[in-house]
Structure 1
Amino acid sequence: MTGLVLLAFFACFLVAGFKRPFLWLLCYLYVDALTPQKIAWGLLASIPVSLIAFVAAFGGWLVMDRKDDVKVSVRQVLIVVFLVYCGLTTLMADFPTDAAEKWDWVWKSLFFAAFFPLTLRTRLRMEAAMLVVVLSVGSIAISAGMKTALGGGGYGVLQAFVNDNSGLYEGSTLSMVAIAIIPLIIWLSRYGTIFPSDWRVKLFAVLLIFACLMTTVGLQTRTGLLCIVLLTAMWLRRSCHRFLLAGVFVALAVMAIPFLPASYTQRMDTIETHQSDESASTRIAVWTWTLGYVQHKPFGGGFNSFLGNKVTLDLKDVENDGAMTVVETTKVQDKARAFHSAYFEVLGEQGWPGLAMWLSIHFTGLLQLEMLCRRLRKSEDARDRADHDFASALQMAHMVCMLGAVFIGVAYQSFAFVLVGLEIALIQQRKREDGTLMRRPPGRTGARPMKPLAAPAAGDAA
């Protein structure tokens, strides 16, 4: 029954796209985030759902969508250059077969990242894209959060819809993304026009945020805890009552500790004692190996170059019986361990030039969002306030992803690139509007008139 429902929903998406081609892009975002073909059994699992949605999204825009106001940003050009560079390193990879397998999905992610902003010509489209991503990730978080509340949590144990450890269903990745969408949930509950803000929308937003937090508790990943701390710090930075909110957050954290499972607190304690934890020690050993590797191969070794690593770990076991402390060191040898960091993943696979391009793609956007927030901070215009909070929400979500990327290999996964696309679209939209305002007809003076928050062009509704 689940497979039939998902198949019918996917078919309805495709049919509706013939009237509104932008719906095909929303369909691809839904398929890319939720991967319904993994959830369903039967026919849907045997259909190349992702490929169909991708071709429909790009073909629909190419053939049926307007392109009169399309402009390409510098970041999109940089993504294309990075895509070409990754293709070249794949041809010269240390492990050609394994590199080709990863290239098979990476190029789609990077191509979509460059193409995606071209379709977001209106704010309604931006909101629709963000809403689909939030609800798709939120559905996974609701499933994981409910299982956690019913006592089904545990590191490497909690499962959402599927028994899978890839994409958004990987524990640390899901923890990171669940925290990253919280600012987007709040923005949609305040400024959303597809589901206008009322008590029902706000109640759902509160419950969804709670599900996201419960997901990080149930997955018991250290990445999730660090992302929560960073998001809280950024929220306090943006708040006018930061000291009051800081006290509230600390009080809530202290009150929540007794209700957390013992396995969660034990897992978080390993942040300080990483030398006795094989997972954390392996990460550091592989990062050290990567720095040595790029000294000899500054252009990287292509995708999955980590298969050539060999590392030696010194695990320390500290025992304290009250009278004395005994430290035992055990040597462990390992090989072909993944990078477990997006930064070192790009460095080891694409070398220093690739890392420079990847960092520029992400951190240039964060800088542009900060500049936009500062420019709109004191504006009283309703549109400016909405855009200010939109930019702030995207910046916080993106920063959470960049922190989580320190500990997990998500350099080419699409969620962060969806944020990049929304950032490019918002900044391009502001440039078009500000340019129009600067070219007012002679004799027009005065303050900028307030614009309605939801005013899509005729025939352009998503």
Structure 2
Amino acid sequence: MRDLLLVGFILGSVPFILKRPWIGAVMWAWVSLMNPHRFTWGFAYNFQVAMIVGAATLLSLVMHLKEVKAPPRNAAMVALGIFVLWLNITLPFSFNLNEVYGMWDKVMKIMLMLFVTGMLIIEKKQIQVLIWVVALSIGLLGLKGGIFTVLQGGENRVWGPAGSFIEGNNEIGLAFIMAIPLMYYLHEQVTDKRIRWGVLVCIGSSAAAALGTHSRGALLAIAAMTFFLWLKSPRKLLNGFIILLLSPLLYFFMPDKWHDRMATIETYEEDASAMGRINAWKMAYNLASDNFFGGGFQIYDGNTFARYAPVPEDVHAAHSVYFQILGEHGFVGLFLYLLVGFLTWRLANRLIKQTDGKSDLRWISLFCRMSQVSIAGFAVGGAFLSLAYFDLTYYLLIIMSTMDRWLKMNPITTAIKLPLAAGQVGPLQTASTERRT
């Protein structure tokens, strides 16, 4: 039944996508982030849901070409485009050229649909729908994982959808942490108490699920995220009290084996997994120092480690977005990757300055603040995980870029209040304000 419902829903969405291409962009975000087909047990498990949604969206884009906008133009988007170009330049220089096309194909499809999303998401309503879908695609996984953690007493680990970027316990833990600030944004945007409480339950469950992954990187990331969430939130006193109240409850709820695992952060020299990661980092650095273009997508094998790792037999994945990009695409690739992140943060700062103090634009300023909280969590947690191509990080840039374009398309005149006599309008004060729809 679950298989039939999912496949029926996917196929049933195609006519709506063909009529309104922006629906396809939203559907792609849901399928790409949540991987709903991986929660079935029959024929839908391997059903090509992404291919169907992606193909319908691209076809609809061509059919409605006159309504489509060019991708948003700002420094961060330009840097992202150059980064994608560099991934293709390094491709022919890959060590294992016959084995890289699977990952290259996956990454290029993600990047293509991100730019397509920027072309199709134009209006305020479309932007807001995309935010809800992006946040809850991970938030509902957090709800499921949080319930599992509580029922199991934290004894068993939470895992992500099979075959996805966030399949591993470490990766899904970081995804939960990145989604929490976005769900906080949703909570602040709605007035219906039932929806607000529902979002709060997802936030709490995602926090519990992040701990339930037993990921040490997730613990460090949640600490960074919590600090920035308090720093960027509008009600610091109330939110600080809630954080101080809930954090010890979640911490002491976890079982002894969880605490024992977290304690190894301080004694990483004695932990084989931690030392394996350091070995992989040194391998990536040595490889990039010896090869201008890096080694390509698939470099985590015995041959590569034998050439560049201090401990050749200790083969590990990169376990760091920074060393992952460094080893795969060289120092130029790492520079471009960091540049995208830096310019995304600057874009958020610029939008915050443009919209702060304007009640009609609070939805933009708050989202940008919460995006910075997510980026801070990713910057810390990503230092220990191979998640350089995870969609969620790039969706933050795409959404803020569509907001930036929307602002440029909808100029606003803001009244300047001056102490004048009743009924009098001064030369610097407008009699009315042009409001956005």
Q: Normalized against structure 2, the TM-score is what?
A: 0.88
**Match for residue 168 of structure 1?**
166
**In 2 relative to 1, CA 303–334 (structure 1 residues): closer, same or farther, beyond 3 Å?**
same
Q: Are 2:356 and 1:372 aligned? A: no
Deviations 1:351-375 (A, max 9, x none): 1111111111222011121232234
Deviations 1:387-446 (A, max 9, x none): 211211222122222222211111112121111211211122223334x659xxxx9952
Opposite residue 19 of structure 1, the aligned amino acid is K
- For residues 128-167 of structure 1, what are the structure 2 equivalents within 5 Å? 128-151=129-152, 153-154=154-155, 157-159=157-159, 164=162, 166-167=164-165
**Match for residue 232 of structure 1?**
226
Q: Are 2:174 and 1:197 aligned? A: no
**Match for residue 35 of structure 1?**
35
**In 2 relative to 1, CA 398–116 (structure 1 residues): closer, same or farther, beyond 3 Å?**
farther
**Match for residue 9 of structure 1?**
9
1:395 to 364, 367, 372: 372
Opposite residue 350 of structure 2, the aligned amino acid is M
- For residues 40-439 of structure 1, what are the structure 2 equivalents within 5 Å? 40-64=40-64, 66-67=66-67, 70=70, 72-73=72-73, 74-151=75-152, 153-154=154-155, 157-159=157-159, 164=162, 166-191=164-189, 196-239=190-233, 242=236, 245-246=239-240, 249-307=243-301, 308-310=304-306, 311-312=309-310, 334-377=313-356, 379=357, 381-434=358-411
The answer to whether the 8 A contact 1:180-1:397 is kept is yes
**Match for residue 322 of structure 1?**
none
**Match for residue 449 of structure 1?**
433
Once residues 5 and 96 of structure 1 are traced to their aligned partners in structure 2, the CA distance between those partners, rounded to angstroms, is 40
**In 2 relative to 1, CA 288–109 (structure 1 residues): closer, same or farther, beyond 3 Å?**
same
Q: Normalized against structure 1, the TM-score is what?
A: 0.83
Once residues 149 and 450 of structure 1 are traced to their aligned partners in structure 2, the CA distance between those partners, rounded to angstroms, is 50
User: Following TM superposition, by how much is the alpha carbon of 1:32 offset from its aligned partner in structure 2, in angstroms?
Assistant: 0.8
Once residues 145 and 264 of structure 1 are traced to their aligned partners in structure 2, the CA distance between those partners, rounded to angstroms, is 15
Structure 1 range deviating more: 52-61 or 269-278: 52-61
Once residues 35 and 364 of structure 1 are traced to their aligned partners in structure 2, the CA distance between those partners, rounded to angstroms, is 29
The answer to whether the 8 A contact 1:21-1:65 is kept is no
User: Following TM superposition, by how much is the alpha carbon of 1:141 offset from its aligned partner in structure 2, in angstroms?
Assistant: 1.5
Once residues 399 and 67 of structure 1 are traced to their aligned partners in structure 2, the CA distance between those partners, rounded to angstroms, is 36
User: Following TM superposition, by how much is the alpha carbon of 1:348 offset from its aligned partner in structure 2, in angstroms?
Assistant: 0.7
Once residues 105 and 255 of structure 2 are traced to their aligned partners in structure 1, the CA distance between those partners, rounded to angstroms, is 41
**In 2 relative to 1, CA 3–335 (structure 1 residues): closer, same or farther, beyond 3 Å?**
same
**In 2 relative to 1, CA 389–46 (structure 1 residues): closer, same or farther, beyond 3 Å?**
closer
User: Following TM superposition, by how much is the alpha carbon of 1:15 offset from its aligned partner in structure 2, in angstroms?
Assistant: 2.9
Higher share of residues assigned helix: 2
User: Following TM superposition, by how much is the alpha carbon of 1:204 offset from its aligned partner in structure 2, in angstroms?
Assistant: 0.1
The answer to whether the 8 A contact 1:25-1:58 is kept is no
Once residues 123 and 431 of structure 2 are traced to their aligned partners in structure 1, the CA distance between those partners, rounded to angstroms, is 23
Once residues 68 and 90 of structure 1 are traced to their aligned partners in structure 2, the CA distance between those partners, rounded to angstroms, is 31
Residue 94 of structure 2 aligns to a residue in which SS?
coil
**In 2 relative to 1, CA 293–448 (structure 1 residues): closer, same or farther, beyond 3 Å?**
farther
Once residues 42 and 258 of structure 1 are traced to their aligned partners in structure 2, the CA distance between those partners, rounded to angstroms, is 39
**Match for residue 320 of structure 1?**
none
Residue 384 of structure 2 aligns to a residue in which SS?
coil
**In 2 relative to 1, CA 76–338 (structure 1 residues): closer, same or farther, beyond 3 Å?**
same
Structure 1: which 5+ runs fail to align? Answer: 314-332, 456-462
Once residues 213 and 420 of structure 1 are traced to their aligned partners in structure 2, the CA distance between those partners, rounded to angstroms, is 24
Deviations 1:229-281 (A, max 9, x none): 11221123235664675465334333444322112211111111111111111
Higher share of residues assigned strand: 1
**Match for residue 460 of structure 1?**
none
Opposite residue 301 of structure 1, the aligned amino acid is G
Deviations 1:5-58 (A, max 9, x none): 211221222232233222122221111112233222444345322111112222
Superposed CA RMSD: 2.6
